[in-house]
A and B are shown apart, each in its own frame.
Chain A
Amino acid sequence: EPEVTQTPSHQVTQMGQEVILRCVPISNHLYFYWYRQILGQKVEFLVSFYNNEISEKSEIFDDQFSVERPDGSNFTLKIRSTKLEDSAMYFCASKRGRTSHQETQYFGPGTRLLVL
C-alpha cells in the first residue's frame, strides 16, 4: 500500500540554524500538508499546498517557514532560523482530491525536531 515517507526521522539543531524537513507524498495525490505536534499536545495545522502554491496557512506559519515542491515527488518544509519553541514532531500529509471519497489525509511517520 502506498505511503507517505519523511526524512529524517529525527533532527537535532542549534537555535538559529536552518532546517529542511523532507516528505515524499503518495504519488497520485494532489494536496499536501504540514502539521506539527508539540509533545503531549494536539496536532496543529501549519500549511496546505496545492497546484504549486500555498492554499492556506495558519498563524504559526510565519515568515520563518516556507514550503516547496522542487520536483514531482518531494515536498519540503524549511525553517529559516529555528527557535526553541519549534521543537515538535512535524507530520507531512497528502490527499488525492476534494470529492468526499478523496478527502482522507494520509500522514507520514513524522520528523522529530529538537532545537537546542
Chain B
Amino acid sequence: GQQVMQIPQYQHVQEGEDFTTYCNSSTTLSNIQWYKQRPGGHPVFLIQLVKSGEVKKQKRLTFQFGEAKKNSSLHITATQTTDVGTYFCAGLGGTSYGKLTFGQGTILTVHP
C-alpha cells in the first residue's frame, strides 16, 4: 500500500534559525496536505498542494510539491517559539475516498 516517509524525525533549532521537513511518497499523489499538531492537540490543517511543482507561501512557511508529485517539503524561515509542534505531511491517493496517509511527522522544538 501507499507509504509516506518523513524526515527528520526530530529537529531542534535556535529561535531565528530556519527549519525544513521533507516528505516522500511511494506512489504518485493527487495532492498532499500539511498539518501541524501542538503537544496534546489535534492535527490542524495548514495547506494543500495539488499541482506538480507547486509552491505556496504562508508568511514564513513555504510549501513545495515535487514535479513528480511524490515528494514535498515545508520550510520555515526564522523560526519562532510559537512554531513548536509536530508537522505532518499527509498524502491523498488518486483512487480513494479521501484516505490520508500520514508521514511520521517531524517534531520541532525551538529554543529561545
Residues of A within 8 A of B (CB): 31, 33, 35, 41-45, 48, 50, 55-56, 58, 89, 91, 95, 98, 100, 103-110
Contact = CB atoms under 8 A, between A and B. Distances in A.
A100 B50 contact: yes
Nearest to B101: A45
**Chain B interface residue bracket vs A:** 20 to 34
Contacts of A31: 97-98
B44 A103 contact: no
Contact of A105 (B96, B100, B103, B104): B100
A48 B48 contact: no
B33 interface: yes
Nearest to A45: B99
Given A42-B88, A100-B31, A33 B98 contact: yes
Nearest to A95: B98
Nearest to B103: A42
Interface of B: 31, 33, 35, 41-45, 48, 50, 88, 90, 92, 96-105
B33 A108 contact: no
Q: Which 7 A-B pairs have the closest CB atoms?
A: A55-B97, A43-B102, A48-B97, A42-B104, A107-B42, A42-B102, A107-B43
Contacts of A48: 96-99
Given A42-B88, A91-B43, A98 B98 contact: yes
A61 to B, nearest CB: 11
A27 to B, nearest CB: 18
Given A91-B43, A109-B42, A103 B99 contact: no
Contacts of B105: 42
Contacts of A108: 42
